[in-house]
Structure 1
Amino acid sequence: MGNATGTTLEELKACESHEWYRKFMTECPSGLLTFYEFKKFFGLKNLSEPSDAYVKTMFSTFDMNDDGFIDFMEYVAALSLVLKGEVQQKLRWYFKLYDVDGSGCIDREELLLIVKSIRAINGLHHEMSAEDFTNMVFDKIDINGDGELSYEEFMEGIQNDKMLLKTLTESLDLSHIVQNIQGDMQGKA
C-alpha cells in the first residue's frame, strides 16, 4: 500500500478518516450527534440568540435525512464540504444555509443575520462591517433589484465576481473551526 518515498494519498485519506471517526465516537459514543452535542463538539458556547439560530440552521443542513441527529456519514460529508468542497458545492450549501426561512430566496435581513452570526462565532476582525458587506452583496448581485437573491442570482453573481467570491469565502468560512478540531485530534493522538 505504501511506497518507498512516503505516504500515499490514499493512506493520508484513510488516516484522516480514522481520526475523524475516532473524534466523532469519542465525543458521541452513541454514533448520533444531537444539536447540543454538535455545539459542544465545535466548541460553540455562550452564543447570542442570532448565532445560536444560525448554528441550528447549520446543524439542520448537515442533518441530511432530517432525523434530528448527525450520524458519522453526515459528519464526514459536512467536513469534506467545508474543507475540500468545490466552489459550486460550497455556494449551494451557503445558499441553503442563508435562506433561513426556506423561501427559496435570501433577503437582506437573512444575509445580515448570517454574516453577523458567523463573525460572532469566528471571532475574527473584518475590515468591512456586516451591514456594508450585506449591502455590497446586494448591490452587486441583486440583478432585478427586488431586495431578494434568488438561487440563480446568488450563484451567477458570486461566481462572476471574483472579488466578491473571495470576500464571501473568507468572511463566511468555517474551516478554522474544523481545523481546530483536527488540531485537537492530533494533540490527543
Structure 2
Amino acid sequence: MLIIMGAAGSQDDINAMEIHHWYTKFMRECPSGQLCLHEFKSVLGLQGLNQEANKYVEQVFETFDMNKDGFIDFLEFIAAINLVIRGKIDQKLKWYFKLYDADGNGTIDKKELVSIFTAIQAINGNQELSPEDFANVVFQKIDVNNDGELTLDEFINGVESDQHLLEMISKSFDLSNVLKVIQSGRRHSI
C-alpha cells in the first residue's frame, strides 16, 4: 500500500480507491507516466487562460515538479493532491510561500504577491480585494521588520497568528475546490 504524508491507516491519507482514481486519470492523460505542463493544464481543465492565469498555473506546475525535471510524475502528482486536499496548515503555508516566491530568492516581495494574486483572480473570478490591497494587507500585518520582504518564518508565523488573514489566504489560494471537482469527475468551468 502506498502511504502518502501520514501514518498507515490514518484518516488523512489518500485511500487506495482515491489513488486508483487519480492513477487512472493520470495515466489516461499522460500514458508516458510523466505529466508535462500542457498535460497538467488538460488534467485540471485549465486551457485557454489569459496570460496572468496561465503564469499562475505554470508556477503551480513548477512547485509540484519537485525534482525540477520539467515533468510531474505520479508520485509528485499524488503528493501534490494530498497536500492540497488534506495537508496541514503549516504544510500548505510552506507550499504557498514557495508558490509566491516566484524568483526563488527565499523571500516574497509585494510585486510577487500582487502578481500571483492577479493571476489567481483571473482563474477564480472576483475577490473582495484588489491585488494591490491584498498585498498591502498582508505586508501591513506580517512584515515584522518592515523591510518590504517576507521570509518563510515571517509568513508562516504571521498568517498562523492572524485568523482573518489565514482565512483570506486559504480561501483565495486554495486549489482544493478545483481538485475536488476533478476527483468527482465533473469538469471545472473557468
- TM-score, length-normalised on structure 1? 0.88
Structure 2 counterparts to residues 1-189 of structure 1, below 5 A = 13-123=15-125, 125-184=126-185
Query: Over residues 29-87 of structure 1, what are the superposed CA-to-partner deviations in whole Å (9 max), with x where a residue is unaligned?
Result: 11110011111111112222232222111111111111111111100000000000000
Partners in 1 of 2:120 and 2:44 — Cα distance? 13
Q: Which structure: larger Rg?
A: 1
Partners in 2 of 1:103 and 1:143 — Cα distance? 19
Partners in 2 of 1:137 and 1:115 — Cα distance? 12
Partners in 2 of 1:56 and 1:69 — Cα distance? 12
Partners in 1 of 2:41 and 2:78 — Cα distance? 16
8 Å contact 1:122–1:174 — kept in the other structure? no
Query: Over residues 117-165 of structure 1, what are the superposed CA-to-partner deviations in whole Å (9 max), with x where a residue is unaligned?
Result: 1121123x32222221111001100111111111111111111111110
8 Å contact 2:102–2:112 — kept in the other structure? yes
Count of aligned pairs between the two proteins: 176
8 Å contact 1:105–1:148 — kept in the other structure? yes
Partners in 2 of 1:145 and 1:133 — Cα distance? 16
The structure with more helix, counted as a fraction of residues: 1
* 5+ residue gaps, structure 2: 1-10
- CA RMSD in angstroms comes to 1.8
* 5+ residue gaps, structure 1: 1-8
Partners in 1 of 2:22 and 2:87 — Cα distance? 17
Q: Which is worse superposed, 158-167 or 40-49?
A: 40-49
8 Å contact 2:52–2:122 — kept in the other structure? no
SS of 2:104's equivalent?
A: coil
AA of the residue aligned to 1:55: V
SS of 1:184's equivalent?
A: coil
SS of 2:15's equivalent?
A: helix
Partners in 2 of 1:114 and 1:149 — Cα distance? 15
8 Å contact 1:141–1:157 — kept in the other structure? yes
Partners in 2 of 1:57 and 1:129 — Cα distance? 21
Q: Which is worse superposed, 12-21 or 91-100?
A: 12-21
SS of 2:185's equivalent?
A: helix
Aligned sequence identity (%): 52
SS of 2:174's equivalent?
A: coil
The ranges of structure 1 where at least 4 consecutive aligned residues each deviate by more than 6 angstroms after the TM superposition are none
SS of 1:52's equivalent?
A: helix
Q: Which is worse superposed, 48-57 or 153-162?
A: 48-57
